[in-house]
Amino acid sequence: MAARRKQGKARARTAGSRGSGASAALIENVQQIWLAGMGAIARAQKEGPAAFTEAVSEGFKLLERSRSNAEQAIRDAFEAAQEPVQTSFGSARDQATETWDNLEALFQTRVQKALNQIGVPSAEEVRILTRRVAELNDSVQALSARQVRAKRAAAKRTVPKKPGKRRARARTTR
Protein backbone atom coordinates (compact mmCIF):
# COMPACT_ATOMS: atom_id res chain seq x y z
CA MET A 1 0.00 0.00 0.00
CA ALA A 2 2.91 2.33 0.70
CA ALA A 3 4.25 1.61 -2.79
CA ARG A 4 0.89 2.61 -4.29
CA ARG A 5 0.89 5.88 -2.35
CA LYS A 6 4.38 6.66 -3.63
CA GLN A 7 3.26 5.91 -7.19
CA GLY A 8 0.21 8.11 -6.75
CA LYS A 9 2.35 10.95 -5.40
CA ALA A 10 4.81 10.50 -8.28
CA ARG A 11 1.94 10.65 -10.78
CA ALA A 12 0.59 13.74 -9.10
CA ARG A 13 4.02 15.36 -9.25
CA THR A 14 4.43 14.48 -12.94
CA ALA A 15 0.98 15.84 -13.73
CA GLY A 16 1.83 19.03 -11.89
CA SER A 17 5.25 19.34 -13.47
CA ARG A 18 3.94 18.92 -16.99
CA GLY A 19 4.47 22.50 -17.91
CA SER A 20 4.77 22.42 -21.63
CA GLY A 21 6.72 20.99 -24.49
CA ALA A 22 9.54 18.54 -24.72
CA SER A 23 11.07 19.16 -21.29
CA ALA A 24 7.87 18.05 -19.52
CA ALA A 25 7.64 14.94 -21.72
CA LEU A 26 11.30 14.15 -21.04
CA ILE A 27 10.81 14.45 -17.28
CA GLU A 28 7.76 12.20 -17.45
CA ASN A 29 9.67 9.58 -19.47
CA VAL A 30 12.59 9.63 -17.03
CA GLN A 31 10.21 9.16 -14.11
CA GLN A 32 8.49 6.25 -15.87
CA ILE A 33 11.84 4.59 -16.54
CA TRP A 34 12.78 5.06 -12.89
CA LEU A 35 9.52 3.52 -11.77
CA ALA A 36 9.91 0.60 -14.18
CA GLY A 37 13.38 -0.04 -12.80
CA MET A 38 12.07 0.05 -9.25
CA GLY A 39 9.33 -2.41 -10.23
CA ALA A 40 11.87 -4.74 -11.83
CA ILE A 41 14.01 -4.67 -8.69
CA ALA A 42 10.98 -5.43 -6.52
CA ARG A 43 10.02 -8.39 -8.76
CA ALA A 44 13.62 -9.68 -8.77
CA GLN A 45 13.70 -9.54 -4.96
CA LYS A 46 10.51 -11.57 -4.78
CA GLU A 47 11.69 -14.19 -7.29
CA GLY A 48 15.26 -14.42 -6.05
CA PRO A 49 18.82 -13.58 -7.12
CA ALA A 50 18.57 -15.60 -10.38
CA ALA A 51 15.71 -13.42 -11.59
CA PHE A 52 17.73 -10.31 -10.72
CA THR A 53 20.72 -11.57 -12.72
CA GLU A 54 18.43 -12.43 -15.63
CA ALA A 55 16.85 -8.94 -15.51
CA VAL A 56 20.29 -7.33 -15.54
CA SER A 57 21.42 -9.39 -18.55
CA GLU A 58 18.21 -8.58 -20.45
CA GLY A 59 18.66 -4.93 -19.58
CA PHE A 60 22.21 -5.10 -20.93
CA LYS A 61 20.94 -6.70 -24.18
CA LEU A 62 18.27 -4.02 -24.47
CA LEU A 63 20.91 -1.33 -23.91
CA GLU A 64 23.12 -2.76 -26.67
CA ARG A 65 20.18 -2.92 -29.11
CA SER A 66 19.13 0.63 -28.29
CA ARG A 67 22.71 1.87 -28.74
CA SER A 68 22.98 0.07 -32.06
CA ASN A 69 19.64 1.50 -33.17
CA ALA A 70 20.64 4.97 -32.00
CA GLU A 71 23.98 4.79 -33.82
CA GLN A 72 22.24 3.64 -36.99
CA ALA A 73 19.68 6.44 -36.66
CA ILE A 74 22.49 8.96 -36.25
CA ARG A 75 24.32 7.60 -39.30
CA ASP A 76 21.11 7.69 -41.35
CA ALA A 77 20.36 11.23 -40.23
CA PHE A 78 23.92 12.32 -41.03
CA GLU A 79 23.82 10.74 -44.49
CA ALA A 80 20.40 12.23 -45.16
CA ALA A 81 21.58 15.69 -44.12
CA GLN A 82 24.89 15.46 -45.98
CA GLU A 83 23.44 15.57 -49.51
CA PRO A 84 21.24 18.66 -48.98
CA VAL A 85 24.15 20.44 -47.32
CA GLN A 86 26.43 19.65 -50.25
CA THR A 87 23.73 20.74 -52.68
CA SER A 88 23.24 23.99 -50.76
CA PHE A 89 26.98 24.56 -50.64
CA GLY A 90 27.31 23.94 -54.39
CA SER A 91 24.43 26.29 -55.08
CA ALA A 92 25.92 28.99 -52.86
CA ARG A 93 29.32 28.55 -54.53
CA ASP A 94 27.72 28.86 -58.00
CA GLN A 95 25.84 31.98 -56.94
CA ALA A 96 29.01 33.50 -55.48
CA THR A 97 30.92 32.73 -58.67
CA GLU A 98 28.18 34.22 -60.82
CA THR A 99 28.02 37.33 -58.64
CA TRP A 100 31.80 37.70 -58.76
CA ASP A 101 31.78 37.36 -62.56
CA ASN A 102 29.03 39.98 -62.85
CA LEU A 103 30.93 42.31 -60.53
CA GLU A 104 34.13 41.81 -62.51
CA ALA A 105 32.35 42.52 -65.83
CA LEU A 106 30.75 45.63 -64.36
CA PHE A 107 34.12 46.85 -63.05
CA GLN A 108 35.81 46.23 -66.41
CA THR A 109 33.04 48.06 -68.25
CA ARG A 110 33.27 51.08 -65.96
CA VAL A 111 37.06 51.21 -66.10
CA GLN A 112 37.00 50.95 -69.91
CA LYS A 113 34.41 53.74 -70.08
CA ALA A 114 36.51 55.97 -67.82
CA LEU A 115 39.67 55.28 -69.86
CA ASN A 116 37.82 56.07 -73.09
CA GLN A 117 36.60 59.36 -71.61
CA ILE A 118 40.15 60.50 -70.87
CA GLY A 119 41.40 59.31 -74.26
CA VAL A 120 43.34 56.18 -73.33
CA PRO A 121 43.21 53.70 -76.20
CA SER A 122 41.83 50.23 -75.63
CA ALA A 123 43.96 47.09 -75.85
CA GLU A 124 42.52 46.35 -79.29
CA GLU A 125 43.32 49.86 -80.50
CA VAL A 126 46.89 49.49 -79.21
CA ARG A 127 47.22 46.15 -81.06
CA ILE A 128 45.97 47.73 -84.29
CA LEU A 129 48.35 50.69 -83.89
CA THR A 130 51.27 48.38 -83.11
CA ARG A 131 50.56 46.37 -86.25
CA ARG A 132 50.31 49.57 -88.35
CA VAL A 133 53.58 50.88 -86.90
CA ALA A 134 55.27 47.58 -87.75
CA GLU A 135 53.90 47.77 -91.31
CA LEU A 136 55.09 51.38 -91.66
CA ASN A 137 58.50 50.42 -90.29
CA ASP A 138 58.76 47.65 -92.88
CA SER A 139 57.74 50.12 -95.62
CA VAL A 140 60.33 52.68 -94.48
CA GLN A 141 63.07 50.03 -94.42
CA ALA A 142 62.07 48.88 -97.92
CA LEU A 143 62.15 52.48 -99.21
CA SER A 144 65.52 53.08 -97.54
CA ALA A 145 66.92 49.95 -99.12
CA ARG A 146 65.64 51.06 -102.56
CA GLN A 147 67.20 54.50 -102.15
CA VAL A 148 70.51 52.98 -101.14
CA ARG A 149 70.44 50.67 -104.18
CA ALA A 150 69.46 53.58 -106.44
CA LYS A 151 72.36 55.72 -105.13
CA ARG A 152 74.80 52.86 -105.63
CA ALA A 153 73.53 52.27 -109.16
CA ALA A 154 73.78 56.00 -109.96
CA ALA A 155 77.25 56.12 -108.50
CA LYS A 156 78.34 53.21 -110.67
CA ARG A 157 76.95 54.88 -113.78
CA THR A 158 78.67 58.20 -113.17
CA VAL A 159 82.05 56.94 -112.09
CA PRO A 160 84.57 59.56 -113.28
CA LYS A 161 87.54 58.37 -115.22
CA LYS A 162 90.81 58.51 -113.43
CA PRO A 163 92.62 61.68 -114.21
CA GLY A 164 95.77 61.45 -116.21
CA LYS A 165 99.21 61.68 -114.77
CA ARG A 166 99.56 65.33 -115.61
CA ARG A 167 96.54 66.38 -113.87
CA ALA A 168 97.42 64.34 -110.83
CA ARG A 169 100.78 66.09 -110.61
CA ALA A 170 99.27 69.43 -111.10
CA ARG A 171 96.92 68.90 -108.32
CA THR A 172 99.61 67.88 -105.97
CA THR A 173 101.72 70.96 -106.73
CA ARG A 174 99.12 73.46 -106.03
Give residues with Cβ within 8 angstroms of 3, minimum separation 6.
Answer: 42
Band of residue 135 on the pLDDT scale cut at 50, 70, 90: very high
Q: What is the pLDDT of residue 13?
A: 53
pTM over 0.85: no
Instruction: Decide if 27 contacts 14 (C-beta within 8 A).
Output: yes
Q: What is the pLDDT of residue 18?
A: 46
Length of the chain: 174
- Determine the Cα angle at 46 with ends 40 and 52, to 5°: 50
Q: What is the pLDDT of residue 158?
A: 77
Q: What is the pLDDT of residues 53-87, one digit of tens each?
A: 887 888 888 888 888 888 888 888 888 888 888 88
Q: 44, 19, 17: which is closest to 32 by C-alpha?
A: 17
Q: CA–CA separation, 81 vs 107, rounded Å? A: 39
Please determine, for residue 97, whether its predicted confidence score (pLDDT) is greater than 90.
yes
Average pLDDT score, the chain: 80
Instruction: Decide if 44 contacts 55 (C-beta within 8 A).
Output: yes
